[in-house]
Structure 1
Amino acid sequence: MNCSWHPVAVAALEPTIALTTCENALRELMGYVYNEWYGPTWLNVVATDKQRGEWVKRAEAENARTRRGVAAVDDPGLAYANFYDLLTIADKHWEQLAPALDKKQVTYRLLERFEQLRNAVAHGRTLLTFERDLFSGVAGQIRNQVTHYMSSQDPAGEYYPRIESVLDSLGHRIDSQGPATDEVAGYQTTEAILHPGERVGFTAMGTDPQDRPLRWDLTSSQTGLLLDSQVSDVGQPVQLEWLVDDGDVTETGVVQLHMYAEQSKYRRFGRFDHRAFFGYIVRPPSER
């Protein structure tokens, strides 16, 4: 299925944000189209045993670094694939990506150039101005193409924004899994143990076919209180923070992240356009 793409003018992205933007867009597209094409075992088709083994090692190392009490990782999928992994997969399985990314001889060459610039950044070389612009431009183009493709797969996709990814400061991640036909972008049961006075940060990104500012509301399911609220531009990450309080103490704590287009009077699901949940264990302070 072909979809039309119209470029959207956006502010230049910093190199680290551009890399995350491009990677997330490719992960989302691959997860959706390869599942549609190959079925639920698609990862075994497009990735090698060696690649999947490396991703598990990275996930386990990240979990060990971030916090105690994190469950073991069985299969992290593409979440821990680096850009070179994604480029290798795209090279071998471009046919399924073409409806979104167009002809391989055009877009794949841009991704190869993007990888060259990424390597320069990774080795400490400062990009020249035109290289930074190119790096940002490629990331923006890929994100916009994926956004419009996903919108074309959703009967109401042209009207509403959707969550692309959410990462908490403990290393737990939710990535969008295709068109936002379900109101929940994802639910992450973390098993992390928290106490009043601790802080948990959230970094979120969203996409919108109409390029509107996005409002993000972080709330507690336990107390119903608004914990934080921020606005982001499309394709730019937003930072929110939860200061754990006495009222949050429960063995089944949940925080919700509601996202909606701030400049629209319409919401896809009543009060919001898309949302995500994170579950935590919140216990009383230790008594001495």
Structure 2
Amino acid sequence: MIQEYENILRSIISNVLGTNDDTVFKISSERIEKWKEKREEEKKKFDGILTEARIIFYSDFYDLGNIISKNWGSFKSIFNDKKRFDVLFSEMETFRNTISHGRQLLPYQEQIVKGIIGDLKTKLVTYHNRNMGADDYFIKILKVSDSLGSIWDNTMLPIGLFTKKTLRVGDSIEILIEAYDPKGREITYRVRWGNIDQKGLINNFTIVINKSMIGKTSNLRIEVSTKETDYENSDTTYLRYIVLP
């Protein structure tokens, strides 16, 4: 749960300040270099495949508090009360240290963590709603990545990505989908490929390649949707592969 809190903060920082390596976070260049080293280690660990390129996602927990504090003018409209943010961040840091030392949180502490995370999610949704137009009442696929290192995100063409990756019948591939619903509704994820049709509330899938997928341009369809709405709320994109017998 603490990791979820950290990643929501990283998403907020990305939305407000940016995601590039040269984004001005107002922290020391030494810290930025540490993040780059961690990213490079991650890349080597997975044989050159990097599923997360955004530099902020290699930051440490305390970096996040420093960034928000030093850029408070940019984050004030999201968190409103700095003293309250500092207190909640400190609370989460204490819980994080408890877990990192091999101790479990007590039930009431787990409830506090859930409450803080829920509050943070609400602030993120409110921020998006305040800064988006009418079209942004609808769900969006933000990013799709596979275990081969292919990445599509919503800055690219909506028709998807021709990965130029070659697969064979019997191979398996993992797909990770990141999506955002501005109203915070529960998201259903779905992948369709050949005669495979999988869906659920979990955003990652493992697909075993079979004969129905063979082709020079074989289309994996990625869909996200929400049920709790009185209007059509879905988004779709594609990853394309070469699939050999």
Q: TM-score range by the shorter chain?
A: 0.7 to 0.9
Selected match of 1:229 from 199, 202, 213: 199
SS across alignment from 2:83: helix
Give the whole-Å Cα distance in 2 for the aligned partners of 1:113 and 1:174: 36
Tell me which residue corresponds to 1:31: 14
Residue identity matched to 1:101: F
Displacement of 1:97 in angstroms is 1.2
Say whether 1:244 aligns with 2:209.
yes
What pairs with 1:33-48 in structure 2 (closer than 5 Å)?
33-35=16-18, 43-48=23-28
Aligned Cα RMSD in Å? 3.8
> Residue 207 and residue 252 in structure 1: after superposition, are their counterparts in 2 closer, same or farther (change >3 A)?
same
Say whether 1:132 aligns with 2:110.
yes
CA deviations 1:181-234 (Å, max 9, x no partner) are x995x97887766443233334545444544332212134xx5x554211x3xx
Displacement of 1:153 in angstroms is 1.0
Say whether 1:56 aligns with 2:36.
yes
**Unmatched runs of 5 consecutive residues or more in structure 2:** none
Q: Percent identity at matched positions?
A: 20
Give the whole-Å Cα distance in 1 for the aligned partners of 2:124 and 2:51: 31
8 A contact 2:12–2:124 mirrored in 1 = yes
Say whether 1:218 aligns with 2:191.
yes
Displacement of 1:163 in angstroms is 4.5
Aligned residues: 245
Say whether 1:264 aligns with 2:237.
no
CA deviations 1:76-96 (Å, max 9, x no partner) are 321322332222211211221
Tell me which residue corresponds to 1:10: none
Say whether 1:84 aligns with 2:62.
yes
> Residue 34 and residue 282 in structure 1: after superposition, are their counterparts in 2 closer, same or farther (change >3 A)?
same
Displacement of 1:40 in angstroms is 6.7
- Which structure has more relative contact order (CA 8 Å, sep 6+)? It is 1
TM score, norm. by length of structure 1: 0.67
What pairs with 1:41-190 in structure 2 (closer than 5 Å)?
43-66=23-46, 68=47, 70=49, 76-156=54-134, 159-163=137-141, 168=146, 184=158
Give the whole-Å Cα distance in 2 for the aligned partners of 1:157 and 1:227: 28
Give the whole-Å Cα distance in 1 for the aligned partners of 2:149 and 2:41: 11
CA deviations 1:3-30 (Å, max 9, x no partner) are xxxxxxxxxxxx3xx522x233222221
> Residue 123 and residue 175 in structure 1: after superposition, are their counterparts in 2 closer, same or farther (change >3 A)?
farther
Residue identity matched to 1:19: Q
SS across alignment from 2:231: coil
